[in-house]
């Protein structure tokens, strides 16, 4: 039973570029959340997707957008990259059936030069 998988594991971009990160949820999960973790800090909630729609959003600018596909996988897109976007990006999945825990992927480490 595969857990949450994220790709790529590492990525280097330059300022102003755009990036797409991908996430496949754990089998049986239908909800995907994205988090940004800067060095030395706790993860910060970006947004959550359920039934292919953004259900709630954290304090992130519109440069951060996402998508959820019919198979429940998800993408995080970041436009006009800034140096401050350098971070570990984590994807978590969960099930809407009852009150369920989140399971996290290993993350994508994004570096902006």
Binding site for another protein (CB under 8 A): 33, 35, 37, 41-45, 48, 50, 55-56, 58, 88, 90, 92, 99-104, 106-107, 109
CB nearer another protein, residue 14 or residue 56 = 56
In whole angstroms, how far apart are CA 87 and each of 42, 68, 81, 99? Answer: 11, 22, 12, 29
- Give the nearest distance from C-beta 15 to another protein in angstroms: 23
Taking the complex as a whole, the smallest distance from the CB of residue 99 to another protein amounts, in Å, to: 6
Q: At its nearest, how many Å lie between another protein and the CB of residue 106?
A: 5
Question: Beta partners for 10?
Answer: 109
Q: How many other CB atoms sit within 10 Å of the CB of residue 84?
A: 8
Tokens 């996402």, residue located:
66
């Amino acid at each position: 039973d595969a857990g949450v998988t994220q790709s790529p594991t590492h990525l280097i971009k330059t300022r102003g570029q755009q990036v797409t990160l991908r996430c496949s949820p754990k089998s049986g999960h239908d909800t995907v959340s994205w988090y940004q973790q800067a060095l030395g800090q706790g993860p910060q909630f970006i947004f959550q997707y359920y039934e292919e729609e953004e259900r709630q959003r954290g304090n992130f600018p519109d440069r951060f957008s996402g998508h959820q596909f019919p198979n429940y996988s998800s993408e995080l897109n970041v436009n006009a990259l800034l140096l401050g976007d350098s971070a570990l990006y984590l994807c978590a999945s969960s099930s809407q059936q009852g009150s369920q825990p989140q399971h996290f992927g290993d993350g994508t480490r994004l570096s902006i030069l």
